[in-house]
Amino acid sequence: MKRSFIFWTIVFITVIAFLPNVHARGNLSIRVQIMVQADADIQAAIENQLKKQFRSLDDVVLVNEKPDFEIRVIVMGSAMKEKENTGVAFSTVFLSPYIRSGIPDLLNRCKGDKEVLKINEGFAKAQIYKDHLLQVGSPKDIEEICKDIAYNFKTNILEDYRLTPQNR
């Protein structure tokens, strides 16, 4: 009886340990924070378009804190004619906070090594660079550029993230 209890306890713990972080839709939840810097007249439109595109991705939940990924977008207008914005340039950086990478948990297992713990604390606010995009177009292309940013995240970052053993 005692062996059976121990066996089923181990099975239960193992199953729980390998279950993915489940969102209301029943999928793996990947927490994404979007930060946009742009001229005041277009910033809200770009933020709304990016959020719309990222909400359409399976498994993505937009958050304001503790993200798995940060997407930082800087948008600059280029004026060829006086006071008329004839083009836009997007610089998009995809980052993953070091603290959410799983590395700190691994290093914290080295409880006896104070140097490792000190290094881990030093990197607590660091970011891990994942990808960078530069895109240009006209103001009419903003929606398409935002779609491209979401598509790039989905194909180049999200797919790899889903395949890592701790996220299956």
User: pLDDT digit string (tens) for 10-55?
Assistant: 544 554 444 444 333 345 688 999 999 998 888 999 999 999 999 9
Sheet holding 60-62, edge to edge: 60-62, 30-37, 69-81, 84-97, 127-137
Cα separation, 64 vs 33, in Å, equals: 6
- In this structure, the dihedral spanned by the alpha carbons of residues 66, 159, 58 and 98, taken in order and rounded to 10 degrees, is 0
Which domain covers residue 71, as residue numbers? Answer: 21-167
Residue 4 covered by a domain = no
Give a yes or no: residue 9 inside a domain: no
The CATH number for 135's domain is 3.40.50
Phi, then psi, of 76 in degrees rounded to 5:
-125, 140
Number of domains in the chain: 1
What pTM was computed for the model?
A: 0.67
Which tens digit of pLDDT belongs to each residue from 101-118? 566 566 666 666 666 666
Q: How far is CA 132 from CA 62, 82, 108, in A?
A: 20, 31, 30
Is 1 a member of any domain?
no
Give per-residue pLDDT as tens, 125-145. 666 777 888 999 988 899 999
Q: How far apart are CA 60 and CA 162, in angstroms?
A: 11
pLDDT over 50 at 2, yes or no? yes
List the structure tokens of 100. Answer: 């959410």
Q: In this structure, is residue 11 part of a structural domain?
A: no
The CA distance from 149 to 126, in Å, is 23
Let me know if residue 29 belongs to a domain.
Answer: yes
13 domain residue, yes or no: no
